[in-house]
Every structure is written in structure tokens, then in C-alpha cells.
Structure 1
């Protein structure tokens, strides 16, 4: 059975290959269309990258399951000890617009835990990696989150998070809201301390956050769903109930400020 560092090497090579394919389409007016059920846009580049990743990764690890945004659901992954969790292009709208902030998000889950992860931004060459109990790295250098409280913190999130109804007694914390198009990258930006936190109160697809969650955790961030619970992956639903990713102090303050814990679901 391959060790997590061996899986990491496989993921990094695959991510860089994905980047070469994506850049062949980037700013070249790729064909794009909307997926069914308001699931967002997709381009011919997403599908080309997905095809390359599927062939490369499952060819190297034929016993691993497969969960990808751009593949048909395959329930056999639920019985696999290991599963690839992949977003071929995270930030497709940014990709279509010719912006630089899209990424490739690749992870391996063992059971319900992520054990190897890569988030790669091909335009800038930023490559975030982590495996098992190893460090989180950006282009080979260790990263770490900030250590600050909520007042004045820079939080990567969307506008609706600032609505009073999400917060105890309607008191929205005094943080500064920022945004980046790739959710996977947002987790990594919090992990490296360029921003103080990444926050989402909406359910998130596993392929968007699997890789970034391990990178943030190994960097020293506190990582949970929006209710403070440990994230679990390769689930039947394929989603996580939001996310809070930040240094331990800020994570605790955000969690404490959110709406009544009595409203949290069991589990």
C-alpha cells in the first residue's frame, strides 16, 4: 500500500500536468456552458483536466475510489479504503473570465480523513502541499496561520456571512471581509497567514475543500465545519456543513460568535 508521501508525489505530478492543460485553454475563449440544476459553469478545459487526472491517478492507484466535480457519481468509492477527491478546476468562473485565481485541488482520503493534498495555481506557480503527519508547505517552504483575534481580522468569505441573522444576538464581529474565487485557495491563504481566516456557512462540496483542509490543519490552523465538528470526507452526501479555518484563537472566537449552539444538528 503506498505511503501518504508517495501519494503526495503522485498528486503533485498530476496537478502540474493539469496546470499545463488548463493553461492551453486559459484566455483562449474556451467553450463554456451551465451545468444542470444550477450547479454552475463548466468548460471544455474542466473536462480535459478531469480526463487527464482520472487516467493518471486511477491508472497509478487502480484500487482507489474516485470523487470529482466533473465525473458521474460512482457509489463504489464508498467501499474503497482510499479515495481520490478532485476538483479539476476550482474557480471556473475566474478561469472563464481570464483571471489568475483558479486552482487544481487534489486529495487522497483514507477512510474519512485526508492523508495527502495538493492545491496548485498554475498561473502563479503556487503549489501548496501536505501529507499525513508532515508539514504544510508552499513551494517547499513551511507555512503557518496568523495568531490574532476576530477584531479587525481579514476573513475570506462571501457577502451574506455579514448578515446579522448568522450571529448571536445579531452582533456581527468586527472583521474585514475579503474574497478570492477558488475556495480551495481560500483555505490555503488562511493556512499561510496571508489572510486570517476562511469561513463559509453554506454546505461545501468535498472536492472544493478536501485538499485545503489538510494543508490548513498541517500548517497549524484549527479546521472544522461551521458547527465546530471535525470534517469527514468520502461521505455518501459528498458535502461538509460549512467551514471555519483559522488560527486556534480566531477559530474559537468565530465559532463562539456564531448563532446559538442549540441550533446545531446532532452528530
Structure 2
């Protein structure tokens, strides 16, 4: 893929934040009323609501006007294979954590990332209920409500001992197995938005966050940049960098943390994966 012309990524952040806040206002107004929702596909594990679709429409219109030549990949828009030929595209989850939003929980987000050459370069993540705006630009750092973010770095030992006392979030079954292998972890409550789970690593509220396999580009791209620009690491359990805008936009199991805890968590998770085969 080639990006035909240079783009000042920093110049995109302010208008992107305005657009995402506009989307957040629409969502906040809508949740004051009963939410019409249904399930996508044959299963009962992927809810969608009228709010998801309304936010998706607004973002597609506004972001398309902001950068007209960008491709588009969104959870709530039918995938267009033409995106694979785009060197630059928007990766969007209009509502990340729909199930939580429908249940009246506060931990859902609107997630938008600009991807170039298969990596995010600009990110905006908004948690409308708690009024948290996370922004990042590749090479220029990340912020939460205008305050620079830095992951909470582990001090002292390496290996499993580095995880002692760490606040850890992720799938409950995996956390049970990880905590058995590394005693002393503090298990965090469920976070409905996967992007927010990882964003909380970026500012130190959570030390280590896991994700099961089969998360999608739109769940990850914005949070990926936030974590890295805050000095953290987000990779597959095998330590591989996440690549975006592939034909199948899903990923293996993932872990995010500061570099020391990340190595320890990857080692433990990889061992657990091998022993469960």
C-alpha cells in the first residue's frame, strides 16, 4: 500500500476530537430513552443498537469530509474490499461496549483511529458517560482530557514476580489461570469496552490487560496507539506487532502493559496456551 501524499497527523487531532465529541453527544442524548437493539448474525453474542448505527452514519459522513481520500472500516458498515488498496483509512467502532451501554453501564466508548501502512497514526477514544477523551498522535504522545499519559512502570524484579500486586483485566477464565500461575494479582472488574480496557493501561489505572483471540481492528486500533504513545506495549501473546487493514481484520490473543510486565504476562500466557493444547 502507498500513501499518495504526506499528512500532518497532528493537524487532524483537533477536528477529529470535535467530530467524536459530536458523536458522543448524540449517543448520550439517545441513552436517555429506551434503546432499540437486536443481535447480529445467528448467535446471541453480538448486540447492535440504533445508537451504534446513528453514530456510525455520523462518523462516516464527518470523517469522510475531513479526509475524503481515506478508506473506511467500521464494525457497523458492510466491509468493502476496496479498503485493502487504501494506504490510509479510518478504523471505527461507533460504540465499543454496546452490551454495557444497553445495560446502563458507563464503560462504553466511541473509538476512531487513522491507520497508515497497517499501523495507527492518530487516535481518539471517547467515554461519553465519564467524559474521558483519549487522544494520541504517532511519535507525539497520548493524553487523557488534555493531560499526558504514561503507563505505570513495574519496579524491581522481572519475570512472574514483576506481576505481584498488579491490577489485571481481561477474560475471567484467562485471569483465573494467570492468577494461579502468578499469585498476588489484583483482578479488575469487567470493562465492557475493550478499547477502554487497554486505554486504562495507558494511564496506569490498570497494569496489565488481556484480550481473547478474534478481537477486530475496530476494537483495537485507537487503543493500540494510546498504549504505545504512553510508553506501553500491546502485542499478541507471541510478542507480534498488530497489523491493521488485512483481508481478515481479526487478531490472536493480546496483552498490553508496561514493557517489564508485558514480557512477564506474555511468558505466562504463552505457557498456559501450550499446556492447554
Q: Residue 101 of structure 1 corresponds to which residue in structure 2?
A: 107
Aligned alpha-carbon RMSD (Å): 1.8
2:201 alignment partner, SS class: helix
Change (3 A) 1:197 1:260: closer
My pick for the range that moved more, 249-258 or 171-180, is 171-180
Q: Residue 53 of structure 1 corresponds to which residue in structure 2?
A: 59
Q: Residue 12 of structure 2 corresponds to which residue in structure 1?
A: 7
Q: Are 2:209 and 1:186 aligned?
A: no
Q: Residue 234 of structure 2 corresponds to which residue in structure 1?
A: 223
**Are 2:48 and 2:98, in contact at CA under 8 Å, matched by a contact in 1?**
yes
User: 1-side partners of 2:131 and 2:180: how far apart?
Assistant: 40
Q: Show structure 2 runs of 5+ residues with no match.
A: 1-5, 155-161
Aligned counterpart in structure 1 of residue 245 of structure 2, from 234, 246, 257: 234
User: 1-side partners of 2:101 and 2:273: how far apart?
Assistant: 40
**Are 1:77 and 1:83, in contact at CA under 8 Å, matched by a contact in 2?**
yes
Q: Residue 200 of structure 1 corresponds to which residue in structure 2?
A: 211
My pick for the range that moved more, 254-263 or 27-36, is 254-263
Aligned counterpart in structure 1 of residue 35 of structure 2, from 26, 30, 39: 30
Once the two structures are TM-superposed, the CA of residue 73 in structure 1 deviates from its matched residue by: 0.6
Give CA deviations for 1:80-107 in whole Å, capped at 9, x if unaligned: 1101000001110111111111110000
Once the two structures are TM-superposed, the CA of residue 262 in structure 1 deviates from its matched residue by: 9.8
Superposition pairs for residues 97-136 of structure 1, below 5 Å? 97-136=103-142
**Are 1:104 and 1:119, in contact at CA under 8 Å, matched by a contact in 2?**
yes
Change (3 A) 1:262 1:71: closer
1:101 alignment partner, SS class: coil
Q: Are 2:181 and 1:172 aligned?
A: yes
2:163 alignment partner, SS class: coil
**Are 2:152 and 2:207, in contact at CA under 8 Å, matched by a contact in 1?**
yes
Once the two structures are TM-superposed, the CA of residue 108 in structure 1 deviates from its matched residue by: 0.4
Q: Residue 68 of structure 1 corresponds to which residue in structure 2?
A: 74
1:73 alignment partner, SS class: coil
**Are 2:194 and 2:211, in contact at CA under 8 Å, matched by a contact in 1?**
no
Once the two structures are TM-superposed, the CA of residue 26 in structure 1 deviates from its matched residue by: 1.0
**Are 1:213 and 1:223, in contact at CA under 8 Å, matched by a contact in 2?**
yes
User: 2-side partners of 1:230 and 1:109: how far apart?
Assistant: 14
**Are 2:23 and 2:55, in contact at CA under 8 Å, matched by a contact in 1?**
yes
User: 1-side partners of 2:127 and 2:273: how far apart?
Assistant: 40
Q: Residue 267 of structure 2 corresponds to which residue in structure 1?
A: 256
Once the two structures are TM-superposed, the CA of residue 7 in structure 1 deviates from its matched residue by: 2.5
User: 2-side partners of 1:195 and 1:255: how far apart?
Assistant: 16
**Are 2:208 and 2:255, in contact at CA under 8 Å, matched by a contact in 1?**
yes
User: 2-side partners of 1:259 and 1:215: how far apart?
Assistant: 24
**Are 2:19 and 2:62, in contact at CA under 8 Å, matched by a contact in 1?**
yes
